[in-house]
């Protein structure tokens, strides 16, 4: 068989790689380093066999370092204190500095003809870190320390209304969802944002250090590194995002128009002016990123039967464990093996009363084999029931690709990882809820507008937020936005994309991006924008495989082993192929396409357009 030979193109634009998905790992073994250095001293050129050996030993070295780093990160995030912070930072630094060093050494093979598989792994290695470390050990240690500190500041963050009345983020999230007094909402909204001004200087320093690490790898800055993980030139990826957003924007504008009008009715047009962005504290969510919690304010006038999953969970006495078990059983119905015993023993499902933890939900793959866990402070709500499916989607993906070589363990692109559990959650339909006994009756189709509106408030409303977080970060990383402008640039983007504004003037020391988990934790965010498109493409295809004949928003793939098999085949590919191939393996198309989102919500668009007649839209 003919072997394809691939040289690495020197143009940075032609990087074809994906982000590794592991950012907390470290290392000590120098065996490859020695043999390669010996070769360099002899000045013999590298050959294809050297490249293969380099990849093999790299994978062994990184695998060795990743597990202790992940264990320490778990310990820290589930028990924030001085010691866990120090150990986690220490082991994270070991992993990151080794991974950064190896990524640099991958450049030794730029001009060597290697097979396609080795070339892909070299590219993935170079692109694999979220925040690469500078080679100077003092700087590398400082970077790890800041990274760990920011995570802890967010996790331990509280707002004290009075000396004795301190609220944690979970408490505040519940208030934002359920409270309707605008003064209370404003107080909580402002209160949570007191957590982030002290992060600003650290964040600035972190960006400077990681930019140095990226430069040493041959990138202009971390922005170019982050945008380079999508199997296409970094600048083309930004154009793809614009294309998808342009598809969705008319729908978003219609939803925004309706929601603003209804909020105006609820709170008065002094508080919600009808020609301006919506004040960010009134949308039922701390970050105004998903709006499903204000369904009661914006719902259709005619009484509709829309299932209240929160109420159903309460009525059937679901607790945290039962919610997770129920989510697992969905995956089991598709043919996935049950989660291991250790998942149930080691996961964190509830917020401990006595210590600080990072409550933001996450899914973990500690040993890249079977030690899967989730960490959540589960609230007994329908919203959280979906988040549990989201997290388990990560765990099932991780397990599906565990047999692949280490550098291929990850999702096709990071949007895929975020989309799997959400895809399953789209199947939490009335029919499904009846099947599992959570509700007794299925509302008929005349109620569907209500159901679609509730879901659109979460899914469509989220999309511009999913886009803007990294639009802000990319500008920060590239230096286009300087620290004096961090906050104003953030609000410019919030207004531009979401049509949402700060409810009060922000002080000059405010650092509002820091009050969103993914900024202090350095989790890239474009992945969620992509996931909100991809999940509808996946759902459409899986419903077809499941033999669905109902409107797509009533389809549940529950119990379809055929759909499960097709899904698993894509998951098992990990990142061994460009994401376009993984997408095509399931959907038949290599293109991300928001048509699937628009088709899903099509009846709602007509309804919104009717509601908006005569209203002033836009901001
Ligand atoms: O962070 C998450 C997941 C964990 S990967 C809970 N999400 C984003 C967020 O909460 O901001 C899911 C949707 C968007
Ligand atoms: Zn996720």
pLDDT tens figures, 441-491: 999 999 999 999 999 999 999 999 999 999 999 999 999 999 999 999 999
Distance 291 CA to ligand 2 centre (A): 18
**pLDDT tens for each residue of 571-600:** 999 999 999 999 999 999 999 999 999 999
Q: What's the confidence (pLDDT) of residue 26?
A: 28
Retrieve residue 573's tokens: 């590919």
Do the annotations mark residue 230 as ligand-binding?
yes
Cβ atoms within 10 Å of 539's Cβ, excluding its own: 27
Q: Is 258 annotated as a binding residue?
A: no
Please enumerate in sequence order all residues whose Cβ is within 8 A of that of 371, keeping only pairs 6 or more positions apart, or say none: 340, 342, 346, 364, 365
Specify which residues 501 forms β-bridges with.
Answer: 279
**Could you list the active site residues?**
391, 518
Higher pLDDT, 30 or 43: 43
Task: Tell me, rounded to whole angstroms, the distance of Cα 401 from its chain centroid.
Answer: 19
Average pLDDT of 344-357?
Answer: 97
Helix crossing, 414-425 with 561-572: angle to 10°? Answer: 170
pLDDT digits (tens, 9 = 90+) for 116-167: 999 999 999 999 999 999 999 999 999 999 999 999 999 999 999 999 999 9
Indicate whether 61 pLDDT > 90: yes
pLDDT of residue 144: 98
**Whose atoms come closest to the Cα of 395: which ligand?**
2
Which ligand ends up closest to the CA of 417? Answer: 2
Q: Which residue CA neighbors atom 2 of ligand 1 most closely?
A: 361
> How is 170-218 classified by DSSP, letter by letter?
HHHHHHHHH---HHHHHHHHHHHTTSSGGGHHHHHHHHHHHHHHHHHTT
- Rounded Cα–Cα distance for residues 152 and 138 (Å): 21
Q: Residue 22: pLDDT band by 50, 70, 90 thresholds?
A: very low
Mean pLDDT across the chain = 94
Tokens standing for residue 75? 């310990």
CA distance 31 to 455: 53
pTM of the model: 0.94
Is 394 among the annotated ligand-binding positions? yes
What Å distances lie between residue 135 and 33, 210, 565, CA to CA? 15, 11, 45
Predicted confidence (pLDDT) at residue 9 exceeds the cutoff of 80: no
8 has a pLDDT exceeding 60: no
pLDDT of residue 458: 98
Residue of the nearest CA to atom 12 in ligand 1?
Answer: 528
Q: Which residues line ion ligand 2, judged by CB < 5 Å?
A: 418
Q: Render pLDDT for 492-551 as a digit per residue (tens, 0 to 9).
A: 999 999 999 999 999 999 999 999 999 999 999 999 999 999 999 999 999 999 999 999
CA of 385 to the centre of ligand 1 (A): 13
Binding-site residues, ligand 1, Cβ < 6 A? 289, 361-362, 387, 390, 528
Query: What pLDDT, on a 0 to 100 scale, did the predictor assign at position 19?
Result: 27
């Amino acid at each position: 068989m003919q072997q394809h030979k691939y040289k690495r193109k020197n143009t940075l634009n032609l990087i074809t790689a994906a982000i590794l998905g592991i950012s907390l790992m470290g290392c000590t073994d120098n065996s490859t380093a020695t043999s390669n250095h010996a070769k360099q001293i002899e000045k013999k050129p590298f050959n294809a066999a050297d490249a293969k050996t380099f990849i093999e030993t790299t994978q062994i070295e990184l695998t060795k370092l990743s597990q202790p780093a992940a264990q320490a990160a778990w310990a820290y995030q589930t028990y924030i204190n001085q010691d866990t912070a120090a150990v986690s930072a220490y082991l994270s630094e070991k992993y990151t500095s080794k991974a950064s060093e190896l990524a640099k050494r991958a450049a030794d093979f730029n001009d060597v003809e290697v097979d396609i598989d080795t070339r892909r792994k070299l590219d993935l290695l170079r692109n694999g870190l979220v925040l690469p470390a500078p080679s100077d050990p003092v700087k590398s240690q400082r970077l790890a320390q800041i990274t760990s500190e920011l995570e802890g500041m967010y996790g331990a963050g509280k707002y004290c209304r009075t000396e004795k009345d301190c609220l944690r983020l979970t408490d505040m999230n519940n208030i934002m969802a359920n409270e309707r007094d605008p003064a209370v909402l404003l107080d909580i909204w402002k209160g949570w944002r007191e957590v982030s001004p002290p992060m600003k200087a650290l964040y600035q320093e972190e960006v400077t250090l990681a930019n140095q690490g990226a430069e040493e790898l041959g990138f202009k800055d971390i922005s170019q590194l982050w945008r380079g993980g999508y199997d296409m030139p970094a600048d083309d990826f930004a154009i793809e995002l614009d294309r998808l957003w342009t598809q969705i924007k008319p729908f978003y504008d219609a939803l925004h128009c309706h929601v603003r009008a209804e909020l105006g009715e609820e709170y008065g047009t002094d508080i919600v002016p009808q020609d301006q962005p919506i004040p960010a504290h009134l949308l039922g969510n701390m970050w105004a990123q998903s709006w499903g919690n204000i369904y009661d304010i914006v719902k259709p006038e005619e009484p509709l039967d829309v299932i209240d999953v929160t109420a159903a969970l309460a009525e059937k006495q679901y607790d945290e464990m039962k919610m997770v078990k129920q989510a697992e059983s969905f995956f089991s119905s598709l043919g996935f093996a049950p989660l291991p015993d250790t998942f149930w023993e080691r996961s964190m499902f509830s917020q401990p009363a006595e210590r600080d933890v990072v409550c933001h939900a996450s899914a973990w793959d500690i040993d890249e084999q079977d030690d899967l866990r989730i960490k959540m402070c589960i609230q007994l709500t329908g919203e959280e029931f979906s988040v549990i499916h989201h997290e388990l989607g990560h765990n099932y993906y991780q397990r599906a690709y565990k047999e692949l070589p280490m550098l291929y363990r990850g999702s096709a692109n990071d949007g895929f990882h975020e989309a799997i559990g959400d895809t399953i959650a789209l199947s939490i339909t009335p029919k499904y809820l009846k099947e599992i006994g959570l509700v007794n009756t299925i509302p008929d189709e005349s109620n569907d507008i209500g159901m679609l509106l509730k879901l659109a408030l979460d899914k469509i409303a989220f999309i511009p937020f999913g886009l803007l977080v990294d639009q802000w970060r990319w500008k920060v990383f590239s230096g286009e936005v300087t620290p004096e402008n961090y906050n104003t640039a953030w609000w410019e983007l919030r207004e531009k994309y979401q049509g949402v504004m700060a409810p009060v003037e922000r002080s000059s020391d405010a650092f509002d991006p820091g009050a969103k988990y993914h900024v202090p934790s350095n989790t890239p965010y474009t992945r969620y924008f992509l996931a909100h498109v991809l999940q509808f493409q996946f759902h459409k295809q899986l419903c077809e495989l499941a033999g669905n004949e109902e409107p797509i928003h009533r389809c549940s793939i529950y119990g379809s082993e055929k759909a499960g098999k097709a899904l698993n085949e894509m998951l098992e590919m990990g990142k061994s192929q460009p994401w376009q191939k993984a997408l095509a393996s399931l959907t038949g198309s290599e293109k991300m396409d928001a048509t699937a989102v628009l088709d899903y919500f099509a009846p709602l668009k007509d309804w919104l357009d009717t509601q908006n007649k005569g209203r002033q839209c836009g901001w």
